[in-house]
Structure 1
Amino acid sequence: MNTARIGTLVALAAVAAVTLTSCAGGSAPAADQSDEAVTVTDLSIVVPADPGGGWDQTGRALSQLLTEEKIVGSAPVTNVGGAGGTVGLAQLANERDPDTLMVMGLVMVGAVETNASAVRIEDMTPIARLTDEPLVVVVPADSEYDTLEDLVEDVVDTGQAVTITGGSAGGADHILAGLMLEEAGLDGAEIAEKLNYTPNSGGGEATSLILGGKVSAGISGVGEFLQHIEAGTMRALAVSSDAEVPQLPDVPTITDSGYDVVLTNWRGVIAPGDIDDAHRAELERIVTELHDTDAWTEELETRGWADAFLTGAEFEDYLTGNIDEVTTTLQNIGLVG
């Protein structure tokens, strides 16, 4: 965050503010938006993916808990799926309601690059990083693959004959598949040639492909596949964290399986790019108040999400660095030119 913006936020805290209550679908700004505080009572939440995946789970958890904890009066969720979130991102660029939060994260960072999106995350207003979650590599219950090495070596040997599904192209799941093949000795061109990856716009689609035996393997967040692993309809081969995942104590890490790869999938929220500092401060206050509740802590434990909370300049700096890192990784593993 630049010095001028930091100064504005400090000034906001010192002002004896005239509080403005929002009407339905948005708050009413004062005549001088930069100097007056704002109170948001009706919030819109956009999930830039189809129902069933991690973004959808995050958006609906936000909606439910924000209203149950009486932090806002209403927080309806709208799903706008497509192209790893970049369809929703383009819509957010044209959003006129400043009281709007869009769920996003590592998946969108990669999708912006692989889809050559004209609208970029940098054009929006960063509000908060919320969670961090390891990924899990799974296969159908009756799969021929007993270990991660079995799966990876078959991709190396037979290429396109092995199908792997997950989230959007260029997202965390796709990146993880590429990184494992890079660790197996393939270069970027070979990965692009051999990796047969089927992207999906929502977690429900990937689950259906795996359960139906239509693909060889799948990759997603632990929370999205956990119930199927516990039910025995999927088998977990490895997790992408640097240590054992409590919900899957018998599943090795990818590193323990012979491939030195650690990758976790963070999620957060952004707002339209043209909101004023008063609205940004109020949206940050809302998510901070939620973060500090026992209800949110319980939700993290239930979902298996790690607390990765950042706001303000810290989140803005993190986001800038993550975009640079992901872009370089995508280039190295041949997913973008």
Structure 2
Amino acid sequence: MRRLALVMVAAATAVTLASCSSPATDPGSGSAEGSEITDLQIIVPAEPGGGWDQTGRTMSETLTSEGLVDSAPVTNIGGAGGTVGLASLANEKDPHTLMVTGLVMVGAVETNAAQNRMEDTTPIARLTEEALVVVVPEDSKYETLEDLVDDIVENGQDVTITGGSAGGADHILAGLLLEEAGLSGSEIASSLNYIPNSGGGEAVNLILGNNAAAGISGIGEFVEHIDAGTMRALAVSSAEPAENLPDVPTIADEGYDITLTNWRGVLAPTDISDADRDALIEVVTELQESDAWTEQLETRGWADAFLTGDEFASFLDENVAEVTTTLKNIGLVD
């Protein structure tokens, strides 16, 4: 009996030691296994209907339908070019959180002098890039991009352009068109009557209601209206014609030396653990590698621009510097 008791004590001790040393159960181990993601929340820093919203909801649908996570609810936090959502991310305590971001937010941080910056978050991945398209209502007097730009140069504030948030990709493209037309930074600022919106749906309503002379946004936000004939596309901002708008000329073809694509990606909260960062990169990589995601890219006309972790962080730093210089050149920031 004494020998049997000693054996049982030794066995129990061994189990206890093994349990304490297991990385899966040690909260301080920092292992990826301990940070397995079953539920993921997605923040869309814009109102419903725009490209960020489409990206977030497409991610949610694909992640859950492919069984990569159990749930991925989407929360819209619109305002100020995404900087309201960025402030929310800065205060987020759940490490298994992703916020959709992109070129629009880079510009908005600068034009809004936002307290919270993208560089202070945890970059996870760049996912896609998309060309912009310049559109007009179906009965517009503008037949070409040159017609529109010439009218802005001649009549300035009388010509309204609408698109996404102030300082975002759409606003930048409008400024670059006027710069290519020969206006300086101060002249661009005084001539350009740009109506910003917090969501793509608002811009669509302004254009369809003939309350804006033209609109600029990602192709995915306007393509159904172009296909339906309620909008006419004047030009796309990619180097080559877009696959889903093959008959629409590029801005370069129209005589303006501009190529601009709008990238989108995801950020995580500040100061998350390495294990949580790696787990988020892993689940987003699995998303990108899925056939369902590839089908979504083809359907929506999004180009794959996948980049993760440190490479994405380096890209983001470079993009912030480039956009800041452009915004200064076209007079959108001092």
> What band does the TM-score fall into relative to the shorter chain?
over 0.9
Provide the residue aligned with 1:42 in structure 2: 39
Counterpart of 2:172, as a letter, is I
Matched, 1:281 2:288: no
Partner of 1:30, secondary structure, is coil
Residue 109 of structure 2 aligns with which residue? 112
**2: CA distance between counterparts of 1:78 and 1:314?**
27
Which residue matches 1:78? 75
Structure 1 residue ranges (4+ consecutive) displaced by more than 3 angstroms after TM superposition: 16-20, 32-37
2:122 corresponds in structure 1 to 125
- Distance in 2, Cα, partners of 1:35 & 1:162: 54
> In structure 2, how many angstroms separate the alpha carbons of the residues matched to 1:192 and 1:273?
35
- Deviation digits for residues 48-92 of structure 1 (CA, Å, limit 9, x no counterpart): 000000000000000000000000000000000000000000011
Q: Which residue of 2 aligns with 1:184?
A: 181
Q: Could you say which residue in structure 1 is the equivalent of 2:209? A: 212
Change (3 A) 1:312 1:161: same
CA distance in 2, matches of 1:182, 1:158: 16
Distance 2:206 2:33 in 1: 51
How many angstroms does 1:226 deviate by?
A: 0.2
Distance 1:33 1:95 in 2: 20
- Identical columns (%): 70
Q: Do the aligned residues in 2 keep the contact of 1:244 with 1:251 (CA within 8 Å)?
A: yes
TM-score (norm 1): 0.91
Counterpart pick for 1:59 among 38, 49, 56: 56
State whether residues 23 and 31 of structure 2, in contact with CA within 8 Å, keep that contact through their aligned partners in structure 1: no
Q: Indicate yes or no: 2:317 matched with 1:320.
A: yes
Instruction: Give the secondary structure class of the aligned counterpart of 1:146.
Output: coil
8 Å contact 1:30–1:36 — kept in the other structure?
Answer: no
**Alpha carbons 2:47, 2:53 under 8 Å: kept:** yes
In angstroms, what is the RMSD of aligned CA positions? 1.3
Residue deviations 1:107-159, cap 9 Å, x none? 00000000000000011000000000000000000000000000000000000
**Match of 1:154, SS?**
helix
* Structure 1 segment 243-258 matched on structure 2, within 5 A: 243-258=240-255
Q: Which residue of 1 aligns with 2:162?
A: 165
Choose 1 or 2 for highest CA Rg.
2
1:176 counterpart SS class: helix
Partner of 1:227: 224
> Could you tell me how far 1:18 is from its partner in structure 2?
3.4
Q: Is the 8 A contact 1:140 1:216 kept in 2?
A: yes
1:149 matched to 2:154? The reply is no
**Structure 2 counterpart of 1:18, from 4, 23, 32:** 23
Give deviations 1:168-187, integer Å, cap 9, x for gaps.
Answer: 00000000000010000000
Q: Is the 8 A contact 1:45 1:63 kept in 2?
A: yes
Residue 87 of structure 1 corresponds to 84
Give the gaps of 5 or more residues in structure 1: 1-15, 21-28
Query: Does residue 202 of structure 1 match 2:199?
Result: yes
